[in-house]
């Protein structure tokens, strides 16, 4: 296999003073932070779709980036060239995981049997590259949104025939994930939502989606796969309202349908902000439910109302994200998948590498700063003190649930008037974060 990214070698760690664009300034894979190497905390993954397939094409114009990698686009030769490019790219960056949709790997044929034959062919090719490099699969998924048959949704649509195709794709994508020794499987509800309630039976559709997930779990477990299933919440786009709106909604859905033992969340930063939350918020909601599974690492533009999937560069965001992740005990099956793409005018091979270097350094710095925040202890200490009143007396009886409404009312009547509660001290806490980040 000949080199595709000529002139770009293995990306070295050179430290924060380096001016070499093709070097890491903060990501030092083997450096021990909070008891383990950076790479074990961060578990970076490459998204096949953005990095190897997307060319920058948008509603207003053609792609700008050439992702042919020396082969004719739309052929099996191209599928193999993409795999070669992907493994060379990951090896040069020291990325140990990848994520894929079925149809990222091969051009989809008109007949699903032919698509599946193509998938078998590429799977053998990818397995070989995995053996040579040791690179693993973080998670797989099926694309149940691009093909026109999914115009009304996949599990949530109005056609049992289409539902069967969704099931067939999931079955195959699960088989591929197992073949690649994948640790997870994602359900991102591509078009599982609605444009108008005038034509939609929400409860009926949710039940059908739940059945599709239940059958998928049953199939995978019967095959002996004990990886983790994830829901990736998103509030809108492509549909006006996506059912998996945010972490709280998705967790409620999983509990309602008894799927919460097999599923966790895959939280994408840009999706959280589209839902009107911070990235940290959706991580916190997932973590407190024991469901922080994996992360799609990217960043949105708060001035725009859509999923821009930019490489993460806000160290405030990566710090608070890593703070939540560290405090929840870190990743087990999951990791940080760069569901991110270069901006359209950044179309060169160097830009591909520089996007990942930006994202990996932003998260490495976030990890270092989050670890410092935890060791510093002022944030956590403030939180402990803030609720101190609930550790004794009537406060304790409130939290252990033994105080009745009458008891509580009697307490108020005895006091006549409560003391003012302690200050929230937001500005002080923000200054602590700044001191750790820039001090």
**Nearest approach, Cβ of residue 428 and ligand XLS (Å):** 36
232 contributes a contact to ligand XLS by CB under 6 A: yes
175 contributes a contact to ligand XLS by CB under 6 A: no
43 phi, psi to nearest 5 deg: 40, 65
Cα–Cα distance, 79 to 68 (Å, whole number): 9
308 contributes a contact to ligand XLS by CB under 6 A: no
Q: Which is nearer to Ni ion, 101 or 349 (CB)?
A: 101
Question: How many Cα neighbours within 13 Å face the side chain of 247?
Answer: 29
296 contributes a contact to ligand XLS by CB under 6 A: yes
**Nearest approach, Cβ of residue 331 and Ni ion (Å):** 16
Interface mask toward Ni ion for 284-323; x: CB under 5 A:
------------x----------x----------------
Token pair 């053609």 is found at 62
Binding ligand XLS (rule: CB under 6 A), the pick from 282, 339, 361, 371 is: 339
**Nearest approach, Cβ of residue 238 and ligand XLS (Å):** 8
Cα–Cα distance, 223 to 409 (Å, whole number): 58
Cα–Cα distance, 378 to 434 (Å, whole number): 13
Q: Which is nearer to Ni ion, 192 or 268 (CB)?
A: 268
User: How many residues in the shown chain lie near ligand XLS by CB under 6 A?
Assistant: 10
Q: Provide the 3-class DSSP secondary structure of residue 309.
A: coil
Q: Which is nearer to ligand XLS, 31 or 236 (CB)?
A: 236
Binding Ni ion (rule: CB under 5 A), the pick from 192, 268, 317, 371 is: 268
Q: Which is nearer to ligand XLS, 246 or 296 (CB)?
A: 296
Interface mask toward ligand XLS for 258-277; x: CB under 6 A:
----------x---------
Binding ligand XLS (rule: CB under 6 A), the pick from 88, 102, 282, 307 is: 307
Distances (CA, A) of 353 to 21, 88, 93, 229, 389: 9, 11, 8, 30, 52
Which residues between 335 and 364 bind Ni ion (CB under 5 A)?
Answer: 339
234 contributes a contact to ligand XLS by CB under 6 A: yes
DSSP state of 109: P
Contact present, 363 and 314 (Cβ < 8 Å): no
Angle at 235 between CA 229 and CA 237, to 5 degrees: 100
Handedness of CA 387, 388, 393, 397 (dihedral sign): positive
Question: Which amino acids are annotated catalytic?
Answer: 101, 104
Residues 6+ positions from 244 with CB-CB distance below 8 Å: 187, 188, 189, 192, 231, 232, 233, 234, 250, 253
Q: Which is nearer to ligand XLS, 24 or 227 (CB)?
A: 227
Handedness of CA 54, 58, 64, 70 (dihedral sign): positive
Binding ligand XLS (rule: CB under 6 A), the pick from 51, 141, 250, 294 is: 141
Residues 6+ positions from 45 with CB-CB distance below 8 Å: 95, 96, 97, 98, 99, 138, 139, 335, 336, 337, 338
Binding ligand XLS (rule: CB under 6 A), the pick from 188, 229, 245, 363 is: 188
* Residues in touch with ligand XLS (CB under 6 A): 101, 141, 186, 188, 232, 234, 268, 296, 307, 339
* Residues in touch with Ni ion (CB under 5 A): 268, 296, 307, 339
């Amino acid at each position: 296999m000949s080199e595709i990214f000529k002139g770009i070698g293995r990306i070295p760690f050179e430290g924060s003073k380096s001016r070499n664009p093709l070097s890491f300034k903060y990501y030092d894979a083997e450096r021990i932070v909070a008891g383990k190497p950076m790479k074990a905390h961060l578990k970076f993954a490459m998204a096949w779709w953005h990095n190897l397939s997307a060319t920058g094409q948008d509603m207003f114009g053609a792609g700008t980036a050439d992702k042919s990698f020396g082969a004719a686009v739309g052929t099996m030769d191209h599928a193999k060239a993409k795999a070669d490019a992907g493994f060379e790219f990951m090896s040069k960056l020291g990325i140990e995981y990848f994520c894929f949709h079925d149809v990222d790997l091969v051009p989809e044929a008109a007949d699903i049997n032919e698509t599946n034959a193509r998938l078998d062919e590429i799977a053998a090719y990818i397995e070989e590259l995995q053996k040579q490099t040791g690179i693993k699969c973080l998670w797989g998924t099926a694309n149940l949104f691009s093909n026109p048959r999914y115009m009304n949704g996949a599990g949530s649509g109005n056609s049992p025939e289409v539902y069967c195709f969704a099931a067939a794709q999931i079955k195959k994508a699960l088989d591929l994930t197992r073949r690649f020794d994948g640790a997870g499987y994602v359900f991102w509800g591509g078009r599982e939502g609605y444009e108008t309630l005038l034509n939609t039976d929400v409860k009926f559709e949710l039940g059908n989606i739940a059945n599709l997930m239940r059958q998928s779990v049953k199939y995978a477990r019967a095959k002996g796969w004990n990886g983790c299933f994830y829901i990736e919440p998103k509030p809108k786009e492509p549909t006006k309202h996506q059912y998996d709106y945010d972490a709280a909604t998705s967790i409620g859905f999983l509990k309602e349908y008894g799927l919460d033992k097999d599923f966790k969340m895959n939280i994408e930063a840009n999706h959280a902000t589209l839902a009107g939350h911070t990235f940290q918020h959706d991580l916190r909601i997932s973590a407190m439910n024991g469901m922080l599974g994996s992360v799609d690492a990217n960043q949105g533009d708060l001035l725009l109302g859509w999923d821009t999937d930019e490489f993460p560069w806000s160290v405030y965001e990566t710090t608070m994200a890593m703070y939540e992740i560290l405090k929840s005990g870190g990743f087990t099956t999951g990791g940080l998948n760069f569901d991110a793409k270069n901006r359209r005018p950044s179309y060169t091979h160097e830009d591909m590498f520089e996007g990942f270097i930006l994202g990996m350094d932003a998260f490495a710095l976030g990890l270092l700063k989050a670890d410092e925040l935890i060791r510093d202890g002022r944030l956590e200490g403030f939180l402990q003190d803030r609720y101190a009143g609930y550790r004794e007396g009537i406060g304790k009886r409130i939290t252990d649930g033994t105080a009745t409404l009458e008891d509580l009312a009697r307490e108020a009547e005895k006091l006549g008037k409560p003391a003012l509660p302690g200050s929230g001290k937001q500005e002080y806490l923000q200054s602590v974060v700044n001191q750790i980040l820039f001090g």
